[in-house]
Structure 1
Amino acid sequence: MVEDACAERPLYGGAIAMTFPLRFQDLSNVREVPDHQEAFADANRDESIIIELLDLKQDVADEASAVWFIQDLAREQDAEGGMLIEQSGILEAPGLCYRSMPAVVTSAVGQMAISKGRQGREAQNIVRVYLANLRLKEVGTDILITAYEPVVINPLSESAGTVGAGVVAPAEQSGCIPMAEVFKLSVSTFKVNDWSLFNA
């Protein structure tokens, strides 16, 4: 029985909102989060959701943008063994329109070996990464919604203390909504309440 309560969460001071489970806690209460980011995590499952506002990457094609960002993320994280699991085509987001220009949305799912924080390669966990790129071209912004779901926790990882080492039990076993569903819910409920956030 899944009892994972969800609620609409205000982001960037309420200028943006999206819905995801309440078990994800705002990381800015625990550590410094950059201004262009909002970060939420469920420490018990070592799952996290990060929302980022970036300048529009003009030179990246719409249909390839989510894949480009997931590969960029792998490079940034010094990830090993990255592989692309699936990629969506271009989706229109009718609820996300600025001056009647709908956002272009693409998503990709990858799997990579990533270490936590400053831990080295010997402590890498196998993590599934869900990434959606919402392109708001009218306001020159690429929005990234990235969800991280550990698949295998390395015994040397700091996560092993909380989650336990080895293959991570499916979310359903602990009454949680699976990360793939959390990700879809987040993307499908994403909305802009105040376009002045983008200096529009």
Structure 2
Amino acid sequence: MTTYKSTPLFGGALVCDIPEKFADVSKLRQVPDNQEVYIDKDGFTSIIFDITERVGPAGGGLETDGRALTVHLEDLLGDDVDSVKVWNTTETEFTRLSGDIPAYTLIATQTPKSNTREATRTSAPDFTALILTLLRLEKESTDILITVNVPHIKGEYDEDEIDLAMGKQGELIGDAVEYAARIWSSLDIKDWALFKEIQV
């Protein structure tokens, strides 16, 4: 059973529950002002909170927001975007935020290009699962991205447990979905002025 702790983000402007076993990466290396990064002390999973400029035209709706989600995914993955498969996209509800703030989550996998000999020599993952949540704050001209990255490294997971086409997520992705769900239920914005301060 995962234990969580209420964690202040961006100087306490945001707060949400993060698993206790995750470490704040900014204590180890520099992290951009518009990001908070946490990594599993016992594994390879990371959780990244990213405050970015809102993508797309004013107004919302599935089409506009869906396109914004795609743009953010492409920005996140850069040249690797053609090695990504999106398995599903759903509307997401943040329990402590107003119900009229749109949010969406997608689950995707990114498989490294196998033509690099370098990758086979290092501990490059077989694939990385991504749980990407987009929170659209239109009045603040801001998008908040919450990404749970789950690298699957050979020998560190049970390959037989995973078949996303059949709905089999395996333990690591199952845990990551639980982390994301806990964030959706616990994230609260304490200081809306944050979105004026952070220049991205």
Do both proteins adopt the same fold according to a TM-score greater than 0.5, normalized to the shorter chain?
yes
- Scaled by the length of structure 2, what TM-score is found? 0.76
**Once the 2 structures are TM-superposed, how far is the Cα of residue 34 of structure 1 from its aligned partner?**
0.5
Give the corresponding residue for 1:62: 65
Decide which of 73, 81, 84 is 2:83's aligned counterpart: 81
| Local SS of the residue matching 2:111 | strand
Could you tell me the percent identity over the aligned residues?
Answer: 25
Residues in 2 aligned to 1:13 and 1:24: alpha-carbon distance in whole angstroms: 18
| Local SS of the residue matching 2:42 | coil
What 5-or-longer segments of structure 2 have no aligned partner? Answer: 58-62, 159-169
**Once the 2 structures are TM-superposed, how far is the Cα of residue 128 of structure 1 from its aligned partner?**
0.5
Q: 1:29 to 1:107 in 2, by over 3 A?
A: same
RMSD in angstroms over aligned alpha carbons? 2.7
| Local SS of the residue matching 2:29 | coil
Q: How many residues align?
A: 174
Contact 1:80 1:113 in 2 (8 A): no
What amino acid sits opposite 2:88 in the alignment? E
Q: 1:105 to 1:38 in 2, by over 3 A?
A: same
Residues in 1 aligned to 2:70 and 2:185: alpha-carbon distance in whole angstroms: 19
1:67-93 Cα offsets, whole Å, 9 max, x none, are 4322332225x366310111113x454
**Once the 2 structures are TM-superposed, how far is the Cα of residue 65 of structure 1 from its aligned partner?**
3.0
What 5-or-longer segments of structure 1 have no aligned partner? Answer: 154-164
2:36 maps to 1:38: yes
2:103 maps to 1:105: yes
Q: What are the within-5 Å matches in structure 2 for residues 1-200 of structure 1?
A: 2=1, 4-59=2-57, 61-75=64-78, 78=80, 81-89=83-91, 91=92, 93=94, 95-97=96-98, 102-114=100-112, 121-122=119-120, 123=122, 124-125=124-125, 126-151=127-152, 153=153, 165-168=154-157, 171=171, 178-199=175-196
The answer to which structure has the higher helix fraction is 2
- Scaled by the length of structure 1, what TM-score is found? 0.76
The answer to which structure has the higher strand fraction is 1
